[in-house]
Amino acid sequence: MILILRRPAKPAVSKDEAHHRSMTHFLHTDADMMAALDRLAGTDPRLAAVREVAGTFSLRRREGGFAGLCSIVCGQQLSTASAAAIRNRLFAAFEPFHHDAVRTARTDKLKRLGLSMPKIRSIKAIGKALSDGQIDLEAVGAMDADAAHEKLVALHGVGPWTADIYLLFCLGHSDAWPAGDLALQEAARIAFGLRKRPDAKQFIKLAEPWRPWRGAVAHLLWAYYHVVKRRDGAPEAAASATAVKKQAKRKIQKRAAPKRATPKSKQPKSRQKAKRNGR
């Protein structure tokens, strides 16, 4: 299904609206996201048609902090299954999962978990930046989207896409805009009848009228992409480090639990016969 709709005229911005746009907002619940999209209805009527196609969808969130950022780094340029396997091994290997423990870990240990050298350098550099006080991931959440983005991309191994996915999924920043995400670009091309997929620079310009709710539009376009392409384009919702550890602990306990003897009546008939014959 292709929607070809004209770009709406740019509306005049009142003082109240300008003040509202200058504030930092968050999307913590589905209600927050839907309220943001409702607010944008008057700014860009095209979004109503996109919402109609997308149907009902939910806000996706991830764990924040060092674990959340490491999870995104682990998933760079990997399939969902491969990324999840490496991430789970990484989380299970450290108790607690703390940036100092990962920062000082031996490289060969991290390699055995499935991490490549570039990713090892990245998570160690992030751990060092946190340890040295070069960045405070909680403080980043209070910044406006552009300032937070610049703070994150200053970290080794954190590019624009990683920074925006962290802001949007881990912090719930309402104005994070992953302009380099191919699924979002393709969704916009189809939804707005563009001749070709916009590049990151063009996509930033296209999304400017949606501030400070660009993040809500990102979730909408991922949902739209899922419907029209019949496959998921949004980053998967990763399990937290705590959840991974609990799951690993349950597996260990299950393996360590003594096996119950099989009742005689439930043993295979061949085994019962062998016992009667003294074998």
- DSSP reduced 3-state for 20: helix
Q: Are residues 72 and 207 in the same domain?
A: no
Q: Are residues 153 and 177 in the same domain?
A: no
Examine the fold and report which residue of 123, 144, 170 is the final residue of a domain before the chain moves on.
170
Residue 29's domain is classified under what CATH number?
1.10.1670.40
Give domain status of residue 260, yes or no: no
DSSP secondary structure, 104-144, as one string: TS-HHHHHHTT--HHHHHHHHHHHHHHHTTS--HHHHTTS-
Residue 178 has pLDDT above 50, yes or no: yes
Give domain status of residue 145, yes or no: yes
Give domain status of residue 133, yes or no: yes
pLDDT above 90: percentage of residues in the chain: 68
Backbone angles phi, psi at 55, to 5 degrees: 70, -155
* Contact assessment for residue 224 and residue 232, using Cβ atoms and an 8 Å cutoff: no
Examine the fold and report which residue of 170, 186, 218 is the final residue of a domain before the chain moves on.
170
pLDDT range class, residue 35, cuts 50, 70, 90? very high
> Mean pLDDT across the stretch 3-30?
62
What pLDDT, in 10s, does the model give residues 54-111?
999 999 999 999 999 999 999 888 888 899 999 999 999 999 999 999 999 999 999 9
Give domain status of residue 157, yes or no: yes
Give domain status of residue 88, yes or no: yes
> Whole-angstrom Cα distance, residue 90 to residue 71?
9
Residue 4's pLDDT is what? 47
Q: Are residues 83 and 126 in the same domain?
A: yes
What pLDDT, in 10s, does the model give residues 244-275?
656 655 655 565 656 555 555 555 555 555 55
Q: Residue 103: give the domain boundaries.
A: 65-170
Q: Are residues 52 and 190 in the same domain?
A: yes
pLDDT range class, residue 226, cuts 50, 70, 90? very high
Q: Are residues 220 and 190 in the same domain?
A: yes
Backbone angles phi, psi at 173, to 5 degrees: -65, 125
Q: Are residues 49 and 129 in the same domain?
A: no
The token pair at 64 is 């924040």
Q: Are residues 46 and 93 in the same domain?
A: no
Q: Are residues 109 and 190 in the same domain?
A: no
Report the number of distinct structural domains present in the chain: 2
